[in-house]
Homo-oligomer: A and B are copies of this chain.
Amino acid sequence: MKTSFLVDCFPNLEKELVAEIEQYSSIKNFEAKEYIVKEGEFIRSLPIVLDGSIKVYSTEDTMQFLLYYISSGASCIYSFAHTFNNEPAEFSAITEVKSTLMLLPLERVRLWLKKYPSFASMVLNDYQKHYTDLLHTTKQVICYNLEDRLIDYLKTKAEIEKSTLLKISHQEIADNLGTSREVITRVLKKLGKNQKVEQMGRKIKVL
């Protein structure tokens, strides 16, 4: 099962590498909203999402904000950073829904990076993807107002969840965008007027 998934997702990995991953990694199931890493803890493994999705965020002062989502087939690049230094995590990772993860022990990851070029290049690809994501976020924050960012956020979220009907509280959106609940309520009403979204009970429909 591990093998077939690995081969599917990363067709370029060497055979021996797949065998090693098979041998040293473990599979773990997580409930929705379960923490995988909490800021300040030490990281011992690199998670790769087999099924489900994970939200990775960081905090500054009392504010939290979204770094990126990891969905099926992707890894948590930020854990890679901790492959090199042995410092406590400066981010938290929490499952969005029930998820299945493959956990690769960090000390093995360190070895594989040296031994297998294909592994290093997979990591580089992930780094690039996450860098681009973060760059997108940064551009959004600098160049656009909340209304645009909110729409962008909702559309992205709808894509990830493969549904335009989102069950999410104003508070959680506010946290992810680094603003306050009232503001989200206000902007959502404005988006409603402009036919961009529709609020149905406690859910949000992206139009």
Contacts and interface: CB of A to CB of B under 8 A. Distances in A.
A17 interface: no
Nearest to A116: B117
Interface in A131-148: 131-132, 134-135, 137-139, 141-143
A69 interface: no
Contacts of A63: 142-143
Task: Report the copy number of this chain in the oligomer.
Answer: 2
Contacts of A128: 80-81, 84, 127
A58 B139 contact: yes
Contacts of A135: 58, 67, 134
A165 to B, nearest CB: 28
Given A113-B124, A120-B124, A143 B178 contact: yes
A65 interface: yes
A87 B206 CA distance: 32
A12 to B, nearest CB: 11
Interface in A108-160: 113-115, 117, 120-121, 123-125, 127-128, 130-132, 134-135, 137-139, 141-143
Contact of A125 (B84, B115, B120, B139): B84
A137 B60 CA distance: 12
Contacts of A143: 60-61, 63, 65, 178
A124 B79 CA distance: 13
Contacts of A61: 143
Nearest to A142: B178
Contacts of A114: 117, 121
A89 to B, nearest CB: 13
Given A131-B134, A134-B134, 13 more contacts: A63-B142, A65-B142, A77-B131, A80-B128, A84-B124, A114-B117, A114-B121, A120-B120, A127-B128, A127-B131, A130-B131, A137-B138, A142-B178
